[in-house]
Structure 1
Amino acid sequence: MAGRIPRSFIDDLLVRTDIVDLIDSYVPLKKSGSSYVARCPFHTEKTPSFAVTRNKQLYHCFGCGAGGNAISFLMDYSHLDFVEAVEDLADFVGVQVPRESHSTLVKKNNLGEIYLLLEQVAGFYMQQLRENESAKAAVDYLKSRGLSGEVAREFQLGFAPDSWDALIKQFKEQLLVDAGLVIRKDGGGVYDRFRGRVVFPIRDRRGRVIAFGGRVLGDSLPKYLNSPETAVFHKGREVYGLYELLARNSKPERIIVVEGYMDVIALSQFGISFAVATLGTATSKEHLELLFRFSSEIVFCFDGDKAGREASWRAVLAAFPCLRDGRQVKIMQLPLGNDPDTLIRESGLEDFECDVIEAQALSDFFFERLARGLSLDDMEGRASLVNKAEAYLQILPNGVFQELMLEKLKALSRTDKLDFFQNPTTLKQASHKQKQEDTNLSPVRIAISLLLQNPGLIEVVEQKEIHWQALNFPGIALLKKIVEIIEQHPDINLPRLMELFRGKDEEKYIHIMMNHDFFISGEEINDEFSGAIDRLIDQGREHRLDELIAKERARGLAEYEQKELLNMLASRK
């Protein structure tokens, strides 16, 4: 990323966007009353339950619960992160995304120019592979790996000439520097970063070239070389081959994570088109969260050597914080000396696919690794296993998987007295109880919901005499925050309000309350909201009265408190 996107721009973008027009360009909508409906694009259904409302500028599915504003739709539908969705929405509206940054890079160069340069350089490298006489060694190497011309074109493989200035002769120097394609000398001047290498363009989810990887053709080191971090490339957030994978199947059943470019391409050549590779870094939580957007199952398939096994272990540990219910991680352990490329050549596509499907579950891999060298037949070994597992299991999100992992540890250690964390069953019961309570809307929930949907109701709040410090029950803090936001931004609408809570603890609650339908007419909304505020004020008074009476009985009241109590009692008559 090159600087933050100003909040004011995001607000303006949402005002400029008609969500009906946006969603209709992806999912054909049909008018139905005051809304537009379609079959939901986020789950399979026969009867339309996906509604888009123009006056609220929101969408909501009454089947699966998906919903939000224009940015949320692009994030969910196109599998984009927040910034990418804002950029796509800006393209739809026809405006450019500004950036808040003091970076010289952003001041000197438009990001669009960097993307264009990278695309042009990819084309230059592809041309060199086809036409440069010195590319014969690169062509021979690719043929020796069994790659077809079709696969080479799909992945846009190219060749960087063994020259210090091949790019400098073709393109602007400063743009090459900003794109990470040349290196500055200590004494001034620049030279090409990639020389005499097979080149692999790295594309983002939108198909834009953002960086390159290069493989040496001789024995020199490093064997593989990647572009450095730039304004458009952050290797910790990207994986190789994801664009090509999604172009073939936007919702793969599973995704295989392998070690390198050639593994991804070789597997694709043999019919495994759902493999990706990290870019010279260990598999991270960020990588996995990205991949879980597109598939609920991830399989690690690293080389069958010591380094590959260690990489599998590190990847499993990185996966722990991501393992919410419904997600699955497996480990496909390869025989010693094999990598995915050699294994699929030896065993064939059918056997390889079977191995993927039957890969070892994360839980089995984890406990096998942790129990290595321990004797679970004696008390000390089992105690050591528990001690080792505790820190890891605490990282797991609360849920069924966490509970089952704990049960497995209990079975292995032959004890049922483990309580590292709050009992997931208790949490589940508490959650169920909360859902039951939510069916009866309290005054504060009514007030929040109506104010979210109708920010103009702030006028009612301003007419009331509300002593916020006296209202210290659940939900009041959020109501007060919404009131303050609307007071600061009188022209704010619901989509913009939602954006202010994106990524915050209250986001899920806001999403629920914004979709609540009270089935009342416009004239009744003011009365309903005013009544809810009045009930809140009354509850606050009753709560304060109870406090004063309890204190009087326990230790007596100060003079001002006695006066307050008498006034409150008098007002009740």
Structure 2
Amino acid sequence: MSGSIPREFIKDLLVRVDIVDLIDSHVPLKKSGSNFVARCPFHNEKTPSFSVSRKKQLYHCFGCGAGGDAINFLMDYNHLDFVEAVEDLASFVGIEVPRETRAYTAEAVGKNASAIYDLLARVAAFYQEQLRASGCKIAVAYLKGRGVSGEIAKHYALGYAPEGWDALVGRFDRKLLMEAGLLASNDAGRVYDRFRGRLMFPIRDKRKRVIGFGGRVLDDSLPKYINSPETAVFSKGREVYGLYELLEKNSRPRRILVVEGYMDVIALAQFGIDYAVATLGTATSRSHLDLLFRFSSEVVLCFDGDNAGRQAAWRAVEAAFPSLRDGRQVKVMLLPQGQDPDSLVREEGVDGVAARIDAALPLSDYFFAHLTEGRMLNSVEAKARLLKEAKPYLEQMPEGFFKDLMFVRLRELSGGSGLDELQNQSKLTPNAAKVKRGESFKLTPLRVVIALLLQNPRLAEVLGDLQPDWDLLRFSGKELLLDILRTIEVEQPGNTAILLEFYRGRQWEKEVRVLANLVVKPEGVVQFDENAEFEGAFARVEKQGREHYIDYLWDKKTKEGLTAGENEVLLKLLSNKSA
């Protein structure tokens, strides 16, 4: 990417697109009143609860709580990140995505991503041709010895990098080869092919683009495996091997198994376990998990049973906590000593390996077992150590039921000492998960005001006509309300989708997206007078805000006295109250 996407372009894009047309091209919609409905594509249901509003340019499911604008739909439906979704949406309406010119990172200067993708695809094809060549007996013999069929080799686009130092230089552009990480240089400045005499594993992203390679030697030389270096299109800390191939078989797998090696992925696929991916020589990271959770709600981490494997498992568990939202599950599977997935599936068969995957330990069990291993929790000191060690991990978890239950388990192990305050802190903000499930979430007057304002930005004009004296109002959430009003005044959003998009990545994004769905009515519910509802709710906010300010000033007056200015404000508030 050569620059960020201008915010004005995103606003214009959302004006051009009709979310009804977009979603209808993926999920057939039916007209129902003023909206369009369908069975939700994000959960199984028998009757339609998925509603799309042409007026607001939003979708919302009353069953699972999924919702958002056209960009959100593409992100969730096609498993894209934000930039990819914007690019696809721009393609849908037939316009190019512009980029803002600004200072780029040193690694990205001069890089031509499109040209690099094209080069990598051509190099991958070259390596495949070399594997099929009659002279490449050593690579073919190795694959046959590992039981890899021609079908699997083709599915994973396996290839062979021939011996020699310049097999690529004479065929492809030298500058692009350097930028793609396919050439290396020695101390004398000599440039040569990075991969030589190796079985080649193209690493493809979820959009089928080759982004890098892994290479394995076919003899006993070291290093056994090498990967492409970091480039403009490849970051091994954010990608996994085999994801594209997995999604090609099943776009929504029930679970994803994370293993350590390329051949583990291929061997498992050969036996029919085609939902495995491998990290690229790095520890499993939060970025890896966030990527995999786009496609499945369950991730099973598979490690060797030796000390190194156990250490890798714990590092992966540590990295997982920020990703553990409600509805997601991480499990840990340790292999028997001396076994890897390849050898295990040959020894125990598919059913044996599948049974081990089913029996993998949930992260919660693994986490607490690790922290309490070898400990006697029969003293205050031991319980305090447990709390001190567990607290930093639990604090990283997003708000939700899972986090609450982890605190409950910690309370059971520690006897609850010192935990009450920590748990209370985690519940100071509304739980978005409860809103998504349609459970109790108090519709306060302020929440109604903000929800209606987000759903119909023109209601800001109503507040302008009412001319509230903001200086005489004190209430929690006032800053958010004023920020929304300022955003509407400055940006002049044409619909709800555009307004919500301004909050992506900004302060209050979570609150805004939750509140935008609070008073959404499914089809068949009698519609209300939006203006009257809005004015009535704001009148209650004003009343509460004045009373809160009066209480505050009276309390201060009795304890420490008021300034002349505060006395004047108090008199004005009391006068307005009695009027």
Same fold per TM (> 0.5)?
yes
Is 1:477 equivalent to 2:479 in the alignment? yes
Q: Which of the residues 495, 498, 502 maps onto 1:496?
A: 498
Distance of aligned partners of 1:108 and 1:285 in 2 relative to their CA distance in 1, 3 Å threshold: closer
C-alpha contact (below 8 Å) 1:375/1:382 kept by paired residues: no
Distance of aligned partners of 1:497 and 1:399 in 2 relative to their CA distance in 1, 3 Å threshold: closer
- Counterpart residue number, 1:62: 62
Q: Measure the CA separation in 2 of the matches of 1:544 and 1:428.
A: 22
Distance of aligned partners of 1:60 and 1:213 in 2 relative to their CA distance in 1, 3 Å threshold: same
Distance apart, 1:480 and its partner CA:
0.6
Distance apart, 1:381 and its partner CA:
6.8
Distance of aligned partners of 1:486 and 1:166 in 2 relative to their CA distance in 1, 3 Å threshold: same
Distance of aligned partners of 1:565 and 1:102 in 2 relative to their CA distance in 1, 3 Å threshold: closer
C-alpha contact (below 8 Å) 1:410/1:418 kept by paired residues: no
> What per-residue deviation string (whole Å, max 9, x for no partner) do you get for residues 207-258 of structure 1?
1111111112233322111111122112111111111111112222221110
Q: Measure the CA separation in 1 of the matches of 2:434 and 2:278.
A: 43
Distance apart, 1:365 and its partner CA:
3.3
Distance apart, 1:278 and its partner CA:
0.7
Comparing 562-571 with 210-219, which one deviates more in the overlay? 562-571
Distance of aligned partners of 1:257 and 1:465 in 2 relative to their CA distance in 1, 3 Å threshold: same
Is 1:366 equivalent to 2:367 in the alignment? yes
Q: Measure the CA separation in 2 of the matches of 1:426 and 1:199.
A: 48
- Counterpart residue number, 2:508: 506
Comparing 13-22 with 320-329, which one deviates more in the overlay? 320-329
What SS does the corresponding residue of 2:141 show, helix, strand or coil?
Answer: helix
Comparing 369-378 with 220-229, which one deviates more in the overlay? 369-378
Q: Measure the CA separation in 2 of the matches of 1:82 and 1:309.
A: 35
Q: Which of the residues 122, 125, 150 maps onto 2:124?
A: 122
Q: Measure the CA separation in 2 of the matches of 1:108 and 1:508.
A: 36
1:256-405 alignment, distance < 5 Å: 256-374=257-375, 388-397=389-398, 399-402=400-403, 404-405=405-406
Distance of aligned partners of 1:564 and 1:152 in 2 relative to their CA distance in 1, 3 Å threshold: closer
Comparing 558-567 with 173-182, which one deviates more in the overlay? 558-567
Distance apart, 1:287 and its partner CA:
1.1
Letter of the 1:118 counterpart:
L
> What per-residue deviation string (whole Å, max 9, x for no partner) do you get for residues 282-330 of structure 1?
0111211222222222222223433222212221222233333433322
TM-score by length of 1: 0.89
What SS does the corresponding residue of 1:236 show, helix, strand or coil?
Answer: coil
**Which 5+ residue runs of structure 2 have no aligned equivalent?**
none
- Counterpart residue number, 2:51: 51
Distance of aligned partners of 1:514 and 1:244 in 2 relative to their CA distance in 1, 3 Å threshold: same
C-alpha contact (below 8 Å) 2:299/2:330 kept by paired residues: yes
- Counterpart residue number, 2:152: 151
What SS does the corresponding residue of 2:422 show, helix, strand or coil?
Answer: coil
What SS does the corresponding residue of 2:59 show, helix, strand or coil?
Answer: strand
**Which 5+ residue runs of structure 1 have no aligned equivalent?**
none
> What per-residue deviation string (whole Å, max 9, x for no partner) do you get for residues 385-420 of structure 1?
56654544554555554555555556666x453527
Aligned residues: 569
Q: Measure the CA separation in 2 of the matches of 1:382 and 1:547.
A: 41
Q: Measure the CA separation in 2 of the matches of 1:328 and 1:500.
A: 31
What SS does the corresponding residue of 2:258 show, helix, strand or coil?
Answer: strand
Distance apart, 1:88 and its partner CA:
1.9
Q: Measure the CA separation in 1 of the matches of 2:39 and 2:483.
A: 36
C-alpha contact (below 8 Å) 1:181/1:192 kept by paired residues: yes
Distance apart, 1:345 and its partner CA:
0.6
Q: Measure the CA separation in 1 of the matches of 2:565 and 2:388.
A: 57
Distance apart, 1:272 and its partner CA:
0.5
C-alpha contact (below 8 Å) 1:2/1:231 kept by paired residues: no
1:418-433 alignment, distance < 5 Å: 419=419, 422-423=422-423, 427=427
Distance of aligned partners of 1:550 and 1:258 in 2 relative to their CA distance in 1, 3 Å threshold: closer
C-alpha contact (below 8 Å) 2:474/2:546 kept by paired residues: no
C-alpha contact (below 8 Å) 1:451/1:457 kept by paired residues: yes
- Counterpart residue number, 2:228: 227
Q: Measure the CA separation in 2 of the matches of 1:539 and 1:380.
A: 47
Q: Measure the CA separation in 2 of the matches of 1:547 and 1:191.
A: 75
Letter of the 1:361 counterpart:
P
C-alpha contact (below 8 Å) 1:256/1:298 kept by paired residues: yes
Distance of aligned partners of 1:427 and 1:198 in 2 relative to their CA distance in 1, 3 Å threshold: same
Distance of aligned partners of 1:559 and 1:326 in 2 relative to their CA distance in 1, 3 Å threshold: closer
Letter of the 1:21 counterpart:
D
Q: Which of the residues 106, 112, 115 maps onto 1:113?
A: 115
Distance of aligned partners of 1:466 and 1:339 in 2 relative to their CA distance in 1, 3 Å threshold: same
C-alpha contact (below 8 Å) 1:321/1:396 kept by paired residues: yes
Q: Measure the CA separation in 2 of the matches of 1:224 and 1:87.
A: 35
- Counterpart residue number, 1:34: 34
Distance of aligned partners of 1:258 and 1:426 in 2 relative to their CA distance in 1, 3 Å threshold: closer
Identity level (%)? 56
Is 1:451 equivalent to 2:453 in the alignment? yes
Distance apart, 1:461 and its partner CA:
3.4
Distance apart, 1:93 and its partner CA:
2.3
C-alpha contact (below 8 Å) 1:498/1:510 kept by paired residues: yes
- Counterpart residue number, 2:195: 194
Q: Measure the CA separation in 1 of the matches of 2:32 and 2:434.
A: 36
Distance of aligned partners of 1:48 and 1:265 in 2 relative to their CA distance in 1, 3 Å threshold: same
> What per-residue deviation string (whole Å, max 9, x for no partner) do you get for residues 261-284 of structure 1?
110011000111111111111011
Comparing 426-435 with 172-181, which one deviates more in the overlay? 426-435
Distance apart, 1:537 and its partner CA:
4.3
Distance apart, 1:142 and its partner CA:
1.3
- Which structure is higher in RCO with an 8 Å CA cutoff and minimum separation 6? 2
Q: Measure the CA separation in 1 of the matches of 2:457 and 2:222.
A: 62
C-alpha contact (below 8 Å) 1:400/1:424 kept by paired residues: no
Comparing 42-51 with 427-436, which one deviates more in the overlay? 427-436
Letter of the 1:265 counterpart:
I
C-alpha contact (below 8 Å) 2:332/2:361 kept by paired residues: yes
Distance apart, 1:70 and its partner CA:
0.6
- Counterpart residue number, 1:162: 163
Q: Measure the CA separation in 1 of the matches of 2:534 and 2:385.
A: 59
Q: Measure the CA separation in 2 of the matches of 1:447 and 1:61.
A: 22
C-alpha contact (below 8 Å) 2:256/2:277 kept by paired residues: yes
Q: Measure the CA separation in 2 of the matches of 1:425 and 1:564.
A: 34
- Counterpart residue number, 2:176: 175
- Counterpart residue number, 1:240: 241
